C-alpha cells in the first residue's frame, strides 16, 4: 500500500508510542507499507522470525519493524519493538480504516459504457468497472478493485475479500489486516460462487482472457497470467504465480508460493506442492508427470494379483 502522503519516522513513532526505538535517519521519507512479498523502495515492512531476518534486511524495503537489533542492518532504518506484527498491523489499520457503506453501489464507482449491474450487486469504495461488463445478482465487489472491459461475473461471487492471513498466538489467532487490491483484466469470465481475495498489501491479479468455472478460491497476492482456464472447485493458495495459457482442471489444489509455468496443464483432482516446468502435464497428489502417475496407478492395480501369486508360491513351498 502506498501512503496518500509520505511519512517521516517521527510520524510512525507518534502513532506507536514510546515502546519503539528508531535506528536510522529521522529525516528520511516513508512512502508505503508492504508485507515482505511485495516490498518496494521507501516501504516499511516487518519481520519477527529469525528465519526471515536476512530476507527482510536484504529486501527493497528501507524501513523494518524488527524485534531485535541485528549485527548488520544493511543500511536499513529500523523500528525496534517487542512485537513487530502488532505494530505493523496498527499502522495498516490507521491508514486503511474500514468505512461502513449505506448504499449497494458506492457513488464514486467508475462504471464503463454498456456495463450492467443486476439487482443485489454490492460495489465498495475505490472501484472501477470497465465497458460492456455483466455483473450478475448478489456479486460483492470489495473496496480497491479494478475490473477491465467485457467481463462477466456470475451470481454470488466475491471479488476482493480479505486475505486469509493470521499469526498464531498462545491462545488465539491475530489477523493480518488487508490493505491491498484486486485487478481483473479484460475479457474475463468468473463463474458463480467464486472468491478472489485481495492482496495483503499489494495486488491479486487475473489476466486478460481468463475463464473460471464455479466454486473457485484464489488466495491473496496470487498473480494469474493471460488465457488461463480453471475448473470448478479448484483452490489456489496465496502468493502463487500462474503464467500464461495454463489449463487447470476441476478440484485442483495448489500450495502457496509456487510458480505454475507457462502452458502447464494440471489434470483434475491433483494436489500441487512443487513449481512446474513450461508445458508440463501434471496429475496426482502430490502431482507428478501424468505418464509416470498413470504407470504408478496401473502398477498398483496389479498388486493384488502379485500378492495372490506370492501366497500361492509360498503354500507350494511348504
Q: Provide the 3-class DSSP secondary structure of residue 184.
A: strand
Strand (E) or helix (H) holding 117? strand 116-117
Distance from C-alpha of 228 to C-alpha of 235, rounded to nearest angstrom: 14
Nearest by Cα to 235 from 200, 185, 285, 186: 285
Question: How far lies 270's CA from each of 233, 250, 289, 295, in Å?
Answer: 12, 9, 11, 16
- Residues with Cβ within 8 Å of 309's Cβ and at least 6 positions away in sequence, in order, are none
Residue 256 near residue 219 (C-beta atoms within 8 A): yes
Q: What angle do CA 231, 132, 146 make, to 5 degrees?
A: 70
Instruction: Give me the torsion for CA of 310, 311, 314, 318, rounded to 10°.
Output: -170
Residue 122 near residue 105 (C-beta atoms within 8 A): yes
Residue 298 region by backbone torsions, left for phi larger than 0, else alpha for psi between -120 and 50, else beta: alpha
Catalytic residues: 220
Residue 66 near residue 60 (C-beta atoms within 8 A): no
Residue 189 near residue 164 (C-beta atoms within 8 A): no
Measure the N-to-C terminal CA separation of the chain; round to a whole number of Å: 76
The answer, yes or no, to whether the previous bond of 87 is cis (omega within 30 of 0) is no
Residue 190 near residue 176 (C-beta atoms within 8 A): no
- What ranges in the chain are assigned the alpha helix state H? 9-16, 53-57, 84-95, 290-317
Amino acid at each position: 500500500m502506498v501512503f496518500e502522503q509520505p511519512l517521516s519516522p517521527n510520524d510512525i513513532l507518534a502513532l506507536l508510542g514510546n515502546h519503539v526505538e528508531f535506528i536510522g535517519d529521522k529525516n528520511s521519507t516513508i512512502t508505503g507499507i508492504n508485507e515482505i512479498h511485495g516490498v518496494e523502495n521507501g516501504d516499511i515492512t516487518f519481520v519477527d522470525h529469525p528465519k526471515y531476518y536476512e530476507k527482510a534486511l536484504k529486501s527493497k524495503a528501507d524501513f523494518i519493524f524488527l524485534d531485535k537489533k541485528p549485527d548488520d542492518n544493511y543500511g536499513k532504518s529500523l523500528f525496534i519493538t517487542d512485537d513487530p506484527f502488532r505494530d505493523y498491523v496498527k499502522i495498516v489499520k490507521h491508514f486503511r480504516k474500514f468505512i461502513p457503506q449505506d448504499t449497494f453501489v458506492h457513488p464514486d464507482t467508475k462504471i464503463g459504457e454498456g456495463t450492467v449491474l443486476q439487482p443485489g450487486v454490492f460495489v465498495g469504495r475505490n472501484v472501477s468497472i470497465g465497458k460492456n461488463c455483466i455483473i450478475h445478482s448478489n456479486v460483492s465487489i470489495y473496496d480497491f478493485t479494478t475490473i477491465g472491459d467485457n467481463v462477466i461475473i456470475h451470481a454470488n461471487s466475491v471479488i476482493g475479500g480479505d486475505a486469509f492471513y493470521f499469526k498464531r498466538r498462545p491462545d488465539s489467532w491475530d489477523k493480518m489486516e488487508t490493505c491491498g487490491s484486486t485487478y481483473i483484466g479484460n475479457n474475463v469470465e468468473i463463474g458463480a460462487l467464486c472468491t478472489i481475495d485481495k492482496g495483503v498489501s499489494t495486488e491479486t491479479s487475473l489476466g486478460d482472457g481468463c475463464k473460471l468455472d464455479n466454486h473457485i478460491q484464489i488466495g491473496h497476492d496470487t498473480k494469474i497470467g493471460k488465457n488461463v482456464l480453471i475448473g470448478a472447485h479448484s483452490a489456489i493458495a496465496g502468493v502463487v504465480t500462474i503464467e500464461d495459457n495454463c489449463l487447470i482442471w476441476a478440484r485442483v489444489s495448489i500450495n502457496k508460493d509456487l510458480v505454475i509455468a507457462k502452458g502447464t496443464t494440471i489434470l483434475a483432482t491433483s494436489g500441487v506442492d512443487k513449481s512446474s516446468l513450461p508445458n508440463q502435464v501434471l496429475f496426482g497428489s502430490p502431482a507428478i508427470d501424468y505418464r509416470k502417475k498413470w504407470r504408478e496407478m496401473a502398477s498398483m492395480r496389479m498388486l493384488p494379483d502379485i500378492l495372490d501369486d506370492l501366497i500361492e508360491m509360498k503354500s507350494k513351498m511348504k
